[in-house]
Each structure stands twice: as structure tokens, then as C-alpha cells.
Structure 1
Amino acid sequence: MISTTSTIIDFEKAERDAGFLISCFQEMLCCLGEEALAARLPRGGRGIDLGHYPDTERALQAYSIFFQLLNMAEENSAAQNRRTLEAEHGAASLEGLWGRTLLPVQQQGLSEEEARIVLSRVQVHPVLTAHPTEAKRKTVLELHRNIYLLLVKRENQMWTPAEQLDIRREITSAMETLWRTGEILFQKPSIADERANVAHYLENIFPDAITMMDRRLMKAWEAAGFSARSFKVPDDLPSIRFSSWVGGDRDGHPLVTADVTAETLGDMRLKSVGLIDAALRNLGSKLSLSDRLQDPGEELIGRMDTLRKKHGKRGMDAVRRNEREPWRQFINLMRVSLPPAIRGSGSGSGSAFRYHSARELLGDLAILTRSLEEIGAENIARELVFPLSRTVQSFGFHLASLDIRQNSRIHDLALTALIRAAGNGEQDETPYIDMSEEKKRELLDRELRSPRPFTRPDMQAGPEAESVLGCFRVLSGHIRSFGTEGIGSLIVSMTRSVSDLLSVYLFARETGLMTSIKGKSACIVPVVPLFETIGDLEKSPGILDAFLSHPVTESSLEYQRRRDGAKRRVMEVMIGYSDSNKDGGLLTSAWALYRAEEAMLEVGRRHNTCIRFFHGRGGSISRGAGPTHRFIRAQPYGACNGGMRFTEQGETIAQKYANRISAVYNLELFMAGVAGSLIRESRHEKAAHHLEPVMDRLSSASYSAYRTLIETEGFVTFFRQAAPVDIIEANRIGSRPSRRTGGDSLDDLRAIPWVFSWNQARFSLSGWYGVGSALEALNESDPEAFEDIRIRSHQWPPLRYIISNADTGLAAADLSVMRLYAGLVTEAGLRDKIMGMIEDEYRKTKRFIDILYSKPLATQRLNVNRFIELRREGLGLLHRWQVQRIAEWRKLLDDGRKEEADAMLPELFLTVNAISGGLRTTG
């Protein structure tokens, strides 16, 4: 609910900005004859009586826009406040950013070279996904972005009063367009729509954001007493690369076919080559140096001659342009050397040479840089060429690598069908999917020792097998044409045994994704486990140990290390926050993840392999969100050594990266956070914290309380009636279904609609439930340990992060609103029983967090409470209206009047949008 920037919002400025935007909105409404609506917005007005207002949908839209304007004002306030703080107090005044991270480096005893080496080890990999948590249309998001940018434009003090008036008219005009644009989706977005949305950020936001972030790093580096000349090549700086799941995530998504994956890989490559070509063209327009005034040097002239000969006529044409300007001529040759974006496309003029990998282009950019440095033009090289080199380093010829994710059960079904089709077993033999783990291992080990495939070109193995094999064949074909840069990992969701991972090697063998190193089979693409539930996290160290011990994994990791030119073998492991939270609640999920990471890091050390954790975080506290710098500090010792991958899902992409200032801030939090972790660990040995056993006890008690609630008879009925999950499932906010298999159990329901539903009804259950019972049990059984927890709740990062997140989750909950939604439960006895448990835990959690903070929550988090108070009136009206209309909608369905019920859905979807805007989160 609360944005990570809320602690640095200047609420007085936010109030002024909000007043300005809302006055523009009211002015627009009045011009359109909506004076009554303008006068009753929930900010000093009387509020809208939704039950008697003649046009309910318009009133709901007004509320939705009102909350979005409030959010924009607060976002701009936070951004401007950060700039003011930096200007007045220096970059080190802001927690979690480069200035604060690098300032104490020399005090910690690191030399300039040691610090530079540490920074070069920083690897951050954001992964953009299209989970159905974005409730707003892409068109509406674009309009919001336009209004926000106009609000930022208004900050410039150069505008005259007349020009300020023009900006106001632009804002009002954009608001009118927004008002006349429908807010809800009448059909689910296609995968192509989601891919275009992701590509927007990759093409238009992140390249400039990286350049801005690098400049901030250089300034902080110099402020720490070092020279910016320490960074000579892009590899000296922290690495940032992007990935995507759109078009590759097939877990429970039947629309992600092999054709969609192929289309996605081609589209991303096309956009990437276009991005780099445009950047080279821009560089060429600025690099107008003449050889009449300086000598370009033998290296550049020699490379130009080589490229010119390789390209024949096209090479001659490239150097005929820009006569006596060899640096421009060299850029012309680089542009004609860019690879084809589409498989099989030729140059069109007989030229056979093209860059095969982005590394080759980086090599030529390095030659260009050295030539400029040799003539004393270091500043030009640093300001013009270095940013382009970073763009090539980060985006390559693929824009973002595409991960492929599939559920382990689908792999089991596919392999069962494959074995049956190949005739590799007797008729009465147990099917693979029903085998014990021991039998599966025997079969897999036997098959992996053999190079022969199961299938023949004319063989049909059934839909599950063909789906898996078809996807892998697309990857194989792409790699043959373009190399591996555009391919991420093969992620196995719901990994529950080592056979779930080894089976992927068989599919790779069938489709040309296996190679050989020193006579041993190796998989070209990394196979990555995804541990999601509490039980799977507990088993993860044993599964990882067995996987790393397997000879195919050993040879695969070594092959991948050599191919990538890495110094260390790296094993990626994905850990899930959403399902573990849904499974065990906030405290148990967070601590189970911490313990699993610790144990897997130890497994990696035994196998001389660096573990890179891939954090599957969502946009809410219940799904792993929280202040980025605190999240990274709360990681176990060594957890950042292999770099950090993390998902950015649904609405969080727009919230964090819609404009460059916010994008720079949020990326810098990750980059500086990982750097800070590596810097601290370079000077401190690993040591167990004495509170870890106490946390084990808290986790166990919290799990027991949480499971008691969700396993109480009738709980699922309570959930389905008290929370608007049926409306959310009917909403068209993502291309992927809300259920994995279409079943009606709680286990089958994805974590996203689970959290989304509880948030809409203001229970925020998975963000705090169980914490109070755990703290109470510890206080009663071991008062000394509880007192130790109380004293250190702000000192030990893992504990601080958990308690702080529980505090935020509790702040998002509202007892009076909970009771309102609980009134939808038809059976009074069930309603009273479950609500009694929830209210008891709510009071218990509030009481004990008050004790840990030594003051009431109302005074502990003034900004959080101010955030809530500004929205309380409007949200209250919306909650009451939503509950009333849900009851009417369900009654129509019960009476068999489906057509009338369906007619209500647009209005109900608008309530979901409006409440999500007010809470600033869905799930």
C-alpha cells in the first residue's frame, strides 16, 4: 500500500501539487457540466453519494482519477525532495543511494583499486513480467504518464506566468482526454500488448536511466576521494542487464505457445538492433572530428580498412560519406556491421559480414575510445562513447533475455508421453509421472548417459510433450542463428525434487540444446529451480546439493562459465515470495527464505559454485515488496556474491519506472544496495547472529497461527464470500488465467488474486497475520528473549525488515472495513468464528508491534498514517459501495439472472480500479 518513497515525501509540497492537479480536474469537470461531481470530490467536499448519483460509473471514474492525481503529487514530491536534500546536504544524505554507500569506503580500509574491483562485481538483473496485477489500461497509463511529466515540467522556474498558464491548459486537456477514455478493459490484453508495454521501458526509459545513474555513481565516487578515471571500460562499472518473462512464462498460461516465444525473441531482437543503430547514428552526428586537426591513429585506421574490405561496396559507401572525418566513417562501418534482426535475412547488397555478438561491437567501440584518448579527447570519449558502450553492454542485440518457465508437473506429463511414444517401457510398467523419486532418478541417469534421442522427426508424442519440445526447438533454432545472448534460463516452477530439474536435460537433448565439453554432455541453457512453498524451501538445500553433484550439471556449469568468460561457476536459484507467503504468512515466509538462502549458499561453497539468487518478488508486502535498500541489507551473508536477479511485476513497473527520475532512483537502490553488501562483506567475516534460533521459534509459532486460520473449517467459504475474489477473477487485467489448472481449491489459486482480494477488502491478511501470536508466545515462554528482540528490532537488518513490513501490512488493514466485507458472508456462525480469529490476531499484532517500537504505531509512522488519512474518506465511500453492489451481483447470479449480473461488471471493475488507485496497490 505504501510506496517505498513515502518516508521522504515532503507532504506540504505534495499537498500543494495535489491541490493544483485537483483544481485542474475540477475546472475540467465544470467545463463539461459536471459541477456537482467537481464539488463532491473527497477532499474538502461532502463526498459523492454513489447510491443516488445519476451516473455511478462517472462518479467511480472521478474517484479513480482523484486517487491517481494524489499519487502523482506524492511521487513528484518525493522526487523533488530527494533533489533538494542532495543539493542542500550532499548525496550522502539519502539512504540507500550511491552517495551514502560509497562515502565510508576509505574509512573501511579499501584502496581505490580494491573498491573498483568490488564495484565491478556488482551484477543486477531486473526481470520484467506481465503478472495480472496492473488494473489500468495501457492507454490510461500513457495519459497518467503525460500528466505526471507536465507536472514535472511545471517545476522549472524559467516559465513566465503566461507559460505556466499554457502548462495548466495542457494538463487540463490531458485530463479531459483521460475523462473521455474508458478506464476498464473489455477484453484481456494479448501477449503482444504486454510485450509492447515491456519493450517501452526497455527502449525508452532504461537506456537513459543507466546513463544518468552512471553519472551519479561517478560523482559519488569522486566525493569519496577517488578518481573517475578508474573506470576505463564498461566492465569496470556495476553490470545491469534486463530479462523478460512475457512470451516465455508458460506456467499455467496456455496462450504462450512455441510460435509466441519465437515471435517474442524476434521482436525483442528487432527492437534492440534498432535501439543500437539509432544510438550509433546519434553518436555519428556529434563526432565531427577532422583528421586535418588530429591523427586518428593506426589502430582505428587499420580496423576501418578491415571492415571496409569485409563489406565490399557497402564498406566503400560508408567511408565515402563524411570525408576527412574518420571517426564518423568508423561509426558508419559499425552501423552496416550490425546483425540482421530476422533469422535468414541477408544484407541486401552482397555483404556477408555482420557482428555475431554484442561483444564484437563493444570491441570496436573500445577502439574508438582509445583513438579519442590518444588525441587527448578523453572528455568526448567519456561523455559520448562510454554511454553507448554501456547501452550495448546492457541490452546487446537482444534487448532483454527471455526466460522460459514451466511447471514441473507439465514436464512430468510431457516426459511420460515421450517415453510412451518412444516405446521405451513395457506396457505394464509404471508411467514416469507415477514413479517414485528413486525410480525416476534411475531412469533419468540411465537416459542421460546415452546421447540417443527418444524421438524421430516424424514422431508425435502428444500435446504436453509437443508443447515442451516445440518451445525448446524454438530456443535451439534461435541459438543456432544468433547465439545464446537472448536466451535466459529454463525455470522449473514448483521444483520439489532433483528429478524435476534433471528431466529438463532430456528435453534439451531431444532438441539440440545439449553440447559436449571434454567428452561430457552439457546443457547450453541454464536450468534453474524455483522453490516456492514453505515445504519446498525447507527441502531446497538437499535438492540443490543433489543437482550440483550430477555430472551433467557439473559439465553444464563449466561450459556456461567458459562461454561467458566468467571467473566462477554460477548456479542460479529462484525463490518465490508470493506462494511461500500464501502458504505460511509473512513472518514464516520471510524467515524460511532467509534460512533457505543460508543453507543453499553453504551448498554452493561445498561445490565451489557461486549461487545467484533470483528473487520472485511482487508489488505488495505480502509478495516480497518493501524498501529496496532494507530488503538487500536483510539478505544473508554472501547472498549478493553472484549478483541479484529480481522480478518487477505488473503495476510496480509503471509505479517505479514510468519516468526517468523514478527509474534512476529505483535502479540505483538495487545497484548501490548490492554494492554496499559486497563492500561490507569484503571487510567482515561471516558470523551467525545469536537471535537466529529465536527467529526459528517465532517462525514456527507464526506458521502455526496462520495455518490454524486457513485450515479452519469453512475458511475458504469465508474468503470467497468476504473478499471480492470473484470480481477480480472476472476482471480482464492480464493475459494469464488466475488459476493454475482451473481447479477451485485454495492451493490452485495463484498468490496474486489471493493477495489482491484481501487487499481490496482491507484485511491485508498475508501481510501481518501470525506475527502477533508469535511475539505473544515468545513473551510468555521466554521474556528475556522477547526483550532481546525488542531491543534489536531496529538493529539487526533481517528482523527490522520483517517487523517493518508487518507494521506496513497492519497499517494497510482497517477493522471497520473488514467487518463491512465480512457482512457478505451468508452464514452468521462462520462469519463470527473467522472474524473473531482475525480481530483477535489484529489486536495482538498491533499491541506487540507497539511494544517493539516502544510507541503506538500512530506516532511511529507519521508519513504512513498521513498517506492513509488523505485517502480514508474516499476509500470508505468506495468500500461501502463495492460491498453493496457485490451483494446485489451475487444475488442476481444465485437467481439465475446472469445477463443482468454481467451488465453490472463494468461498474464493479471500476470499483476495483478506484480502490486499487487509492491503496496504490493491487497484489
Structure 2
Amino acid sequence: MAKQVNTLPAVKKPVADKDAPLKEDIRLLGRLLGNVLREQEGDAVYQVVETIRQTAVRFRRESDAQSGTELNRMLKKLTRDQTVSVVRAFSYFSHLANIAEDQHHNRRRRAHLLAGSAPQRGSIAWALSRLDDAGVSGATVRNFFKDALISPVLTAHPTEVQRKSILDAEREIARLLAERDHPLTHKELAHNTQLLHARVATLWQTRMLRYTKLTVADEIDNALSYYRITFLRELPGLYDDIETELAAQFPQRQTAEKEHPPFVQMGSWIGGDRDGNPNVNAGTMRHALVRQSTAIFDFYLDEVHALGAELSISTLLVGVSPELQALAERSPDQSNHRMDEPYRRALIGLYARLAATARTLGAAHVLRQEVGTAAPYATAAEFSDDLQILVDSLKAHHGAALIKPRLATLKRASEIFGFHMATLDMRQSSDVHERVLAEMFARARVADNYAGLGEEAKIKLLLDELGKPRLLYSPYLEYSTETDSELAILRTARDVRQRYGERAIRNYIISHTETVSDLLEVLLLQKETGLLHVQWDAASNSGPQAEMELMVIPLFETIPDLRCATDIMQRFMAIPQVRHLIAKQGELQEVMLGYSDSNKDGGFLTSTWELYKAETRLIELFNNAGVKLRLFHGRGGTVGRGGGPSYEAILAQPAGTVNGQIRLTEQGEIIASKFSNPEIGRRNLELLVAATLEASLMPNAADSKEARKLAGFERVMEELSERAYHTYRNLVYETPGFTDYFFAATPIAEIAELNIGSRPASRKSTRRIEDLRAIPWGFSWGQCRLLLPGWYGFGSAIASWLEEDSDGKEQKRRVAQLRAMVKEWPFFATLLSNMDMVLAKTDLAVASRYADLVSDRKLRNSIFKRILEEHERTTVCLATITGAKERLAGNPLLARSIKNRFAYLDPLNHLQVELIKRHRAATADGRKLDERVRRGIHLSINGIAAGLRNTG
């Protein structure tokens, strides 16, 4: 009998919409916000907002031109009070959408883990698997962790638009939203919804903006909140995950060796970065360490107190080590009720010593009074050693299971955070150092005009002075306020290191490093303040021997600085005294590279390329010198400031430049985006470690064919960079009236008025682009939806290079080469991916409304026309190279997210323009400024920044 064939079409199983829970969360939060709006502002305002929302959605998602006209008409008719309510509503919706997206990321990650999916790209498991497949041994990987340093450095900057109160409310909303993923009864779900409603109402009734200028102390406290939320628990937990994954991937190599040292350490600039910030001084630096130390002691004391309740182990039932018994005997707790509970007694003793240490280091209050007095710890290592006694005793007496829940985390935290919590970097501009030393040289009658000397004469004078036993400074002379302040902050650094440990402060970054003398000046200032110790041995012919406490780190920021970086470091390291100091640092030297100023100086493509070249030349120099290079990447949030996904950015670094050592800045709203949710924070920390692992240990193809191919790619980039540089410079620095256009067509002036940072928006009181800080420069272009620093110049560079030869075959060959660069060169692929994201967030129709703010019609039409033409060239060239006609074709999730956000950003941008018009008109007429108008502008800035997420 013939086999019967089923001719009916197969029934397709419905494909589950993975984003359905995200959509439901956004609908829920939107509905709750609408309910709150109706309750708080009345039904009439609610109806206005809802009508605007529906019209904006139609206009954006259905490309309905009539809806666009209707939307514009409605927005222009709003009263001032209605305008503020609409801006607030759409701003808060952007915030709530961010919360929902973060929760969805956590949900999807958990779904992968529950399904037993293969490790995700960017995870530690993925990195270890790749290394194993590439033949890297487990011993090599473990050695990597022994010597590595991976350090996210939190910084404050003048576009951080989030208030801590808002962040606190949003974290509670995130927690309640995550709770809804668990099985809940009808009653529990209703209760959860009620709490969410209450929290959204709290958000609505909480002031979004600051009425007073943010101080450095405020910035310090804001940063500390992320330690309590994420770093204090998630970072030790990440170490545990890494140990587990290592044991799983390399089981045959597993040994009983000691845990890895703290290879991930937190850094901070807040309180120590005084470049362009007159509000940072010795007092703020001391305050930063007191606050950081108090925060970590609060954590330790809470954990030790909790451990005392948990470790109720009795010696009537199990033994303890002699060391643990001795620790218990030294405790001030001599209660008869706990004579058989040595762990509790020991922990009461630890608590007493911690409390005493906290008070010694500046803590004003200890929440729980200790049982009795005890001597403070001299170092954090002593505290960690006491915790190790508990660990060892539990292991030896059937208590290993009791270590993991809390003691292991506390022990690891003590190693990571010490008594200082985060390493505080110092930073100052080179011109300040020159002025200070010029005054000191003149007052000491050593050199009357140090600043007027040539570079060689400066170097000779500085080296001579470094070799002398006496000081320039005299306590019996008077100096300028600037000199006194600079010397005071260095003396404070010495005191801080003695009080909180050497890791509390160990780096001194020099902004605008342009010469070797810029570096030597800080060495001499260290000598003057007791941070560089020189020993003279009359019996030795080797000369004075020196050791410095703070590593002197050059920051190369502008395009010229990046091009000179290798020559400066070569000359610096060739100086015998310097070479001796580097040897004392363990043959390690750090160099910082600035992404923001180089972009403002030369444009996106040239900045990225010059950074790549500087790294390549530096690693070659350092390898030849036998010195290990650690690069510190001064990245911002937006792509125009080196932003974009950190994982891809690290993997795109030139071969050999990571090598287990990397520091990078985390700034402004990016800190909130990455670390305000503990799970998201842990994932971002894991991405940093995984990327550093892969970039450091993955074998590189070193054959001559690959080398020739890379050299060919680099030659193309050099040509493209030169063309892009001239295009960008011509617009920004060579076009008459461009500065006027920028100040009129962006909300830069209004941003400067916001109380959103302790640092001024400009280094000098001018309107020159050169003097404007790179951060508000990029932030302003984001607000007007042009994001020009992230793409301008690319299109002209590619188009002119392709059209250079009219031969059609040659053009095809060049296109093929560009496509090969995307496929085979991570650097170029990451560059295009980041630019693709920027272009996806760019909206020319919205930007044209900001251009209308320029009163000079001829200037407006001329410059905006050039921007439009360059945007068109850029999108066409990008499509030619990638073959993708739509933005973010390779990242549909992000593409959908951005598309969905646009409908809610449109009203904010439209209203911001209208409010700016009113505000500037009143200013021009000399009328009294309407505070509601000003507040509306600032609220819209907040909402647009939240909607774009990485604009700082």
C-alpha cells in the first residue's frame, strides 16, 4: 500500500512575542501615570496630554502628515501651566519606559539561564569558553586575574540631570515591577499595583529639578548611593561567579590556591578632580574620603552585626580553631550567656574595633552602640585577616556551608573596598602647575620667569631641583591663593594615604599634557609636599634615589596632543630619574586618553582614529622599553564622547593595548543607566571583565598576510580621517557665524543655567567653541536631536575617497575594501555600529525646528543646509558599506526601542523650542523672566535626556 502523504499545509505554531512582557509593563506604567495625572492635575489636563500622546503616536508610527500638523497646532495653543504639565508627563513617561526596558533585559537574561541556553556574548562563561577553544590554558587565565586591574571610575559632570530623590523613587518602581514576574495571587497582584500607583504618584509629586546649585558634596553623596545599591554586594558576587565559572571551564586545573586578589576596583573623580572646577579643594577631597569611608563602615558594621546573629555556633556541639578562640577571648563581650558561642563573641569584638576605626576616620555616628571599647584597626588588611580566621575555623569544623551566605561576601568586600571604598583620583590642568611653580621659583630666587623659559631649560631646572635636598617652599613667605590651595590639596593627599591606606589616592592626572615638563612639574610638587621621597647616599655614586606615592599620569586630549603622546612619553621615560621611579611602580605606567575634547577638536572619525593610532604607537614604545602600559579611557556617555557599548569598545582596542590593565570613566546619566539597578549593574561589571579577558588573552593572527591586510585597512582609515577632519573643522571652526548658530540653535545657554553640576559649562567666560567643555557641547547637540558630534564628516570622507578615481572598477574595489574592513576589523565595525546608533536617534525634522531659533535667516539656511547635505551623504555611504537600508538592522530590539520612544520625545522637543523662544524673547526685551517658562525648559531637557539615555 502506498504511503499516504499529508497534503494539508503544516500548522505553524504561534511564535511567542518575546517583547510582549515589555509592552505590557510600559502599558501598565503609562496607565498608572495617566491615572495619577488625572488625580493630581484634573481630567481636563489629562485629556490634553492623552490627545497629544495619541496624535504624536499616529504621526510617528503611521507617518501621518496631518497628525503632525495637528500636533504642532495643539502644542502651540497650550497655556504656560498646561505646557509644564505636558512636559512633566512626557518626561516621566520616558523615565518609566527606561525602568520597563531595564526590567525586560533582566527578564530575558533570566529566561536564557532558566532555559539552559548557551552562554551569552559578553558573559564570563562566554569569554572563558572562547579562550578554552582557542587553546588558552586555565593556568594562564588564573594568572591573568592575579595581575589584572579593571577599574570603572565614577565622575560627575555638568549635564547629570537626575536628582537622587527621583532615582530613589524609580528604584522602588523597578523593584515592584520585577516582583510582578513572580507568581502572585490576585490579592498580591492588586496590592502590588496599588504600591506601584503610590510610587508613581510619589514620583509626580517629587520635584524633578534642583532649585539650588549642586555642590561637590551633593555629587559625592549621589555617587555613594550607587555603592549601596549595586557595588557593595554585586561586585563581591561577581568575584564568586568568576570563581564558579573558572572551576566549571577548567576543572582539571582547579587547585586549592588562594582566592584571586581584587582585580576589579572602583575609582572616583568626585572631590579630587579640580580641572576647571574651582569648587574642588583640599576640603572637598578630605570630605570625599570621610563620606566614602563612612559609607563602607556602615556596610561592614551592618554585615558584622548580622553575622553575629547568624553564627550562633556553640562549642558544646562543634569545635573551633585556636585562633578563633583567641579572637573571642579578646572580645569586650564577656557575657556568661555567650561563653560557648565564640563566633558571636569574636564578631562582637570585630564590631567594636570597626566602630572605633570608623570614628577615628571621621564617622560622626555609629548606628548601633558597641558592647565595649576596643582598639581601632590600623589597616583594612587587619580586619580582613580577622575575617579569614572565622573562615578558616568554619572550614575546619564542618561549617563550610555557613561561609557563603554572608561571610564570604563580607571578606571579599573588605579586600575590594578597604577602608577607603574607592580610589580617588586627583586631576588638575598643566597650566595651573606651571603658575604655581613659577611663583615658588621666583619667591625662592631660583628663577625669575620660569613660565618664560624654553622647554629644554624647564626640564633642566626641574630635574636639578628634584635632585636637591632642600625645598623651594618656605612657611615664612606669603603665596597666592592658587599656590596655597594647590599645595594644600597635595599635603591633604599625603594625609589621606596615611589615614585610609595607600589605595585611597594613588593617581595624579595632568590635563592638557603637552610637554615633558608638564609631567616633571607634578613630580616636583610631590617632592615639595612630602609625596616624593628622595634619599641621598653620600657614599654612593648612583645619585639620589627617589620613590613617589602618586603615579603621574598624562592626559592627552586634543588631536595635536594625541599625535605628540608617544614622543612625550618616550622623552619622559628616557630620563634616568623617571625610569627609576617607573621601576619602583612595578615597571608600570598609566596614560590617559581623552575622547571628548579630541572629538570636539577634530570630529568623530578623526578622534576615533587618532586615539587608535596613539594607542598603537604607545604600546610599541612601552614594549620596547620593557614597561607595562595601562590605558585610562576618558569615555563619556554619547558616542561623540567615546561612548557606546563598553564590551565592543574594549574588544575593538588595538592588539596588545589592554593586557589585563584598563581604567575607564563612567559619567553622569550613564552611571544611573548602568548601575541604578543591581542586576543591570552586575551585568555591566561582568561585561567589563569579560571584554578585558578576551582582549588580553585571545590569540591574535600574527602571520604576514593578516599583518598586510591590517596595514591596508589602516592606510584607508588614515585617508578617511584626513578628509573627515577637514570637513568637520571647516564647519565648526572655519565657518563665520557657526558659533552664533550653535548658541542659537541648541539649548546650550539654557543648559548652562541648570543646577545640574558643580562644574561650570565652560572653562572660560567666552562663547568660543574652543573654551566650551566637550560635555555640554555634545549634550546640546543631543537635545536638538542632531547629535552632530557622532557622525559629521563621515559622509564627505567616504564619498570623496570613493569618487577620487572616476574608474568604476576602482570604486567597486574600494567599496569592497570598506566592506571587508567591517567584516574583519573590530575597530571599524564598532565605529560604524556606534554611528548607526547615533543616526537612529537623529531626527532632522525636529532639528529643523531648533534651526528656526537662529534669527539670521541667511546664516541659518547656509549652515543647516550643509548639515542636511552631510547627513544625507553619511546615511548613503553607511548603507553602501553595510548593505543595510534601515538604521540598526543588526539590532532590532534597540531599533524598536528607539522608534517607540520617538513618539514621546516629539512633544518634548516641540515644546522645548516654543519655551526657548518665549524665554529668549523676554530676555531680549528686558522683561522679567517667567519662572514657569524656565522650569518648563529645564524639565524638557531632563525628559529628552532620559528618552535618549546616552546623551551625556
Q: Tell me the TM-score normalized by structure 1.
A: 0.92
Cross-structure match for 1:444 = 462
Residues 150 and 230 of structure 1: CA distance in aligned 2, closer, same or farther (over 3 Å): farther
> Following the alignment from structure 1 to structure 2, what is the Cα–Cα distance between the partners of residues 662 and 861?
19
Aligned counterpart, 1:140 = 166
Secondary structure at 1:635 match in 2: coil
Deviation at 1:102, TM superposition (A): 1.6
- Aligned CA distance change for structure 1 residues 33 and 503 (closer, same or farther; 3 Å): closer
Amino acid at match of 1:824: L
The structure 1 residue matched to 2:54, chosen from 45, 54, 60, is 45
CA distance in 2, matches of 1:902, 1:621: 34
Structure 2 residue 483 is matched with structure 1 residue 457: no
1:777-808 Cα offsets, whole Å, 9 max, x none, are: 33234633441221331332111111111111
Displacement after TM superposition at 1:896 (Å): 2.3
Distance 1:679 1:770 in 2: 35
The counterpart of 1:95, out of the listed 118, 121, 133, is: 121
Pairwise CA distance, 1:455 = 1.2
Paired residues of 2:321 and 2:393 also in contact (CA < 8 A): yes
Which SS does the other structure have where 2:54 is aligned? coil
1:530 corresponds to which of 539, 547, 555: 555
1:589 paired to 2:615: no
For 1:126, the aligned partner's letter is P
For 1:769 and 1:443, how far apart are their aligned partners in 2?
A: 45
**Counterpart for residue 432 of structure 1:** 450
Residues 1:539 and 2:564 are matched in the alignment: yes
Amino acid corresponding to residue 839 of structure 1 in structure 2: L
Amino acid at match of 2:785: R
2:787 is the alignment partner of 1:764: yes
* Equivalent residue letter for 1:25: L
- d(CA) in 2 for partners of 1:343, 1:477: 14
Matched residue of 1:372: which SS? helix
Q: Deviations over 1:204-231 (max 9, x none)?
A: 3212112432343344335425279647
Match of 1:498 in 2: 516
Asked if 1:201 is matched to 2:226, the reply is yes
Q: Using a 3 Å threshold, how does the CA distance of structure 1 residues 34 and 66 change in structure 2: closer, same or farther?
A: farther
- Does structure 1 residue 78 correspond to structure 2 residue 114? no
Q: Which residue of 2 aligns with 1:365?
A: 387
Q: Which residue of 2 aligns with 1:312?
A: none
Equivalent residue number for residue 853 of structure 1: 882
Match of 1:577 among 571, 595, 602: 595
Query: Contact conserved, 1:319 with 1:333, CA < 8 A, in 2?
Result: no
Residues 91 and 98, structure 1, Cα contact 8 Å, conserved in 2: no
1:50-96 Cα offsets, whole Å, 9 max, x none, are 3333422111111111111122212211221121122224351x211
Change (3 A) 1:341 1:625: same
User: Which residue of 124, 130, 137 corresponds with 2:150?
Assistant: 124
Cα distance change of structure 1 residues 38 and 223 upon mapping to structure 2, 3 Å threshold: farther
Query: Is contact 1:234-1:386 (8 Å) kept?
Result: no
Report if the CA contact (8 A) 2:230-2:682 is conserved.
no
Q: Which residue pairs with 2:63 in the alignment?
A: none
CA–CA distance in 2 between the matches of 1:132 and 1:228? 49
Instruction: Point out the more displaced range, 852-861 or 95-104.
Output: 852-861
Q: Which residue of 2 aligns with 1:797?
A: 826
2:291 matches 1:267: yes
1:111 counterpart residue number: 137
Q: Are the structure 2 counterparts of residues 261 and 231 from structure 1 closer, same or farther at C-alpha, using a change threshold of 3 Å? A: farther
In structure 2, relative to structure 1, the CA distance for the partners of 1:785 and 1:378 (3 Å cut) is: farther
Check conservation: 1:218, 1:228, Cα contact below 8 A.
no
Cα displacement (A) at 1:513: 1.0
> More deviation in 633-642 or 758-767?
633-642
Aligned with 1:501: secondary structure?
helix
1:748-783 deviation digits (Å, cap 9, x = unpaired): 100111001111111100100111122223323463
What is the CA-CA distance between 1:272 and the residue it aligns to? 2.1
* Counterparts in 2 of 1:387 and 1:539: CA distance versus 1, 3 Å: same
2:378 matched to 1:356? yes
Counterpart residue type for residue 323 of structure 1:
M
Given the alignment of the two structures, is residue 478 of structure 1 paired with residue 496 of structure 2, yes or no?
Answer: yes
SS of 1:856's equivalent in the other structure is: coil
Of 422, 426, 441 in structure 2, the residue corresponding to residue 400 of structure 1 is 422
Would the aligned equivalents of 1:50 and 1:59 in 2 still touch at CA under 8 Å?
A: no
Partners of 1:483 and 1:173 in 2: CA distance: 45
Give the counterpart of 1:677 among 695, 699, 714. Answer: 695
Identify the residue that residue 906 of structure 1 maps to in structure 2: 935
- Evaluate the alpha carbon distance shift between residue 127 and residue 345 of structure 1 in structure 2; reply closer, same or farther with a 3 A threshold: closer
Aligned counterparts of 1:812 and 1:673: Cα–Cα separation in 2? 26
Deviations 1:145-203 (A, max 9, x none): 2212211122111x111111111111111111221222222111121111111111123
2:67 aligned partner: none
Distance in structure 2 (CA, Å) of the matches to 1:81 and 1:231 = 35
Matches within 5 A, 1:680-829: 680-681=698-699, 688=707, 689-690=710-711, 691-710=713-732, 711-781=734-804, 783=811, 784-829=813-858
Unaligned runs of 5+ in 1: 1-7, 309-314, 562-568
- Give the aligned partner of residue 564 of structure 1: none
One-letter amino acid matched to 1:79: N
Q: Which residue identity lines up with residue 290 of structure 2 in the other structure?
A: G
> Could you tell me which amino acid in structure 1 is paired with residue 202 of structure 2?
T
Asked if the contact 2:425/2:505 (under 8 Å) is kept, the reply is yes
TM-score (norm 2): 0.89
SS, match of residue 399 in structure 1: coil
The one-letter amino acid of 2:845's match is S
Q: 1:393-425 deviations in whole A, cap 9, x for unaligned?
A: 111000111111111111111111222222323
Task: Report the secondary structure of 1:250's partner residue.
Answer: coil
Give the aligned partner of residue 311 of structure 1: none
C-alpha displacement of 1:861:
4.5
Residue of structure 2 in register with 1:333 after alignment:
349
Contact 1:725–1:757 (Cα < 8 Å) also in 2: yes
Shift of the 146–451 alpha-carbon distance from structure 1 to 2, 3 Å rule, reads same
Q: Aligned AA for 2:428? A: Q
For 1:250 and 1:408, the matched residues in 2 are separated by 12
Contact 2:791–2:874 (CA<8 Å) still a contact in 1? Answer: yes
Contact 1:123 1:239 survives alignment (8 Å) = yes
CA distance in 2, matches of 1:603, 1:321: 67
Match for residue 310 of structure 2 among 286, 305, 318 = 286
Instruction: Count matched residues.
Output: 893
Describe the SS at the equivalent of 2:901: helix
Counterpart of 1:386 in structure 2 is 408
Deviations 1:569-607 (A, max 9, x none): 221111111111111111111111111111111222233
The separation in 2 between residues aligned to 1:422 and 1:744, in whole angstroms, is: 39
Q: Distance in 1 between matches of 2:17 and 2:346?
A: 48
Cα 1:759/1:249, change in 2 over 3 Å: same
What is the aligned partner in structure 1 of residue 3 from structure 2? none
Equivalent residue, structure 2, for 1:891: 921
Instruction: Please tell me whether the aligned partners of residues 418 and 454 of structure 1 are also in contact (alpha carbons under 8 angstroms).
Output: yes
User: 2:406 and 2:208 mapped to 1: Cα distance?
Assistant: 42
Q: Which residue of 1 aligns with 2:273?
A: 249
CA contact (8 A) 1:811 1:864 kept: no
Aligned to 1:417: 439
1:657 pairs with one of 658, 671, 675: 675
Unmatched segments (≥5 aa) in structure 2: 1-15, 57-70, 538-543, 805-809
Letter paired with 1:118: F
Q: Secondary structure at the match of 1:530?
A: strand
Cα distance in 2 for residues equivalent to 1:875 and 1:210: 35
CA contact 1:853–1:860 (8 Å) conserved in 2: no
Displacement, 1:810?
A: 1.4
Tell me the percent identity: 33
Q: Post-superposition shift, 1:29?
A: 2.2
CA separation of 1:684/1:283 partners in 2, compared to 1, >3 Å: closer, same or farther?
Answer: farther
Write the distance in 2 (CA, Å) between the matches of 1:685 and 1:194: 50
Contact 2:435 / 2:451 at 8 angstroms: preserved in 1? yes
8 Å CA contact 2:21–2:104 kept in 1: the answer is: yes
* Alignment check: 8 A CA contact 2:602 2:728 kept: yes
Q: Choose which of 508, 524, 529 in structure 2 pairs with 1:511.
A: 529
Aligned mates of 2:655, 2:335 — CA distance in 1? 54
1: CA distance, partners of 2:637 / 2:26: 24
